[in-house]
Amino acid sequence: MKFSSINEYFYKMYSYCFALMLIPVCFLGVIHLQWILADLQPIFSDLNQELTFGILFLVLLLILTIVHWYMQSILRKASKEFGLGLKLDNYFKAIIIRYAMNVVCCFIVIAVYMLTQFELLNAFFFLPLLWMMIQFPTSKKVCKELKLKGDEKEMVLYKKDKF
């Protein structure tokens, strides 16, 4: 990613993260409107609700755990890069992958909702969104995940442009 200052870097990263969070929310709104206007019936109405929620929860947990482990290895490699610019570029790529996989989890919940129309899945939909909010890349979190020290940490933490 091209950026000329730390402030611009965080502005762009926040913009991408919020845009990725907004995609599944808008899609769910469109799905709700289609269900209301067309008065469609669910495809699988006779499924056991508890079993469906259990399987869905385990699938989401498995996906998010795999993504977490993968992100840890990417961030470990990024922290060993030489130069703050390269570290921040690799961090940006890792954050976009992390958020994209959370969006995939939201779409899985939406797909199950479309097939079953269990109303509790609307609340279940917000679990990946809540996870994205918890993992939001603040400057303190960037310093911690990239293991920045000294001047690099000070630049990122206080969003300075010069040493």
pLDDT of res. 162: 63
Please tell me the total count of domains within the chain.
Answer: 1
- Asked if residue 99 belongs to a domain, the reply is yes
Kindly list the distances between the CA atom of residue 74 and the CA atoms of 86, 88, 93, 135, in Å, as whole numbers in the listed order: 13, 12, 9, 16
What is the per-residue DSSP string for 48-114? -HHHHHHHHHHHHHHHHHHHHHHHHHHHHHHHTSSSHHHHHHHHHHHHHHHHHHHHHHHHHHHHHHH
pLDDT in tens, the chain (163 residues): 778 889 999 999 999 999 999 999 999 999 888 888 887 777 777 788 889 999 999 999 999 999 999 999 999 999 999 999 999 999 999 999 999 999 999 999 999 998 888 888 888 888 889 999 999 999 999 999 999 999 999 999 998 876 4
- Asked if residue 1 belongs to a domain, the reply is no
**Rounded to whole angstroms, how far apart are CA atoms 16 and 36?**
31
- Asked if residue 132 belongs to a domain, the reply is yes
- Asked if residue 84 belongs to a domain, the reply is yes
The whole domain housing 60 covers 6-34+49-156
- Asked if residue 41 belongs to a domain, the reply is no
Q: Which residue is listed with tokens 């993504």?
A: 67
- Asked if residue 161 belongs to a domain, the reply is no
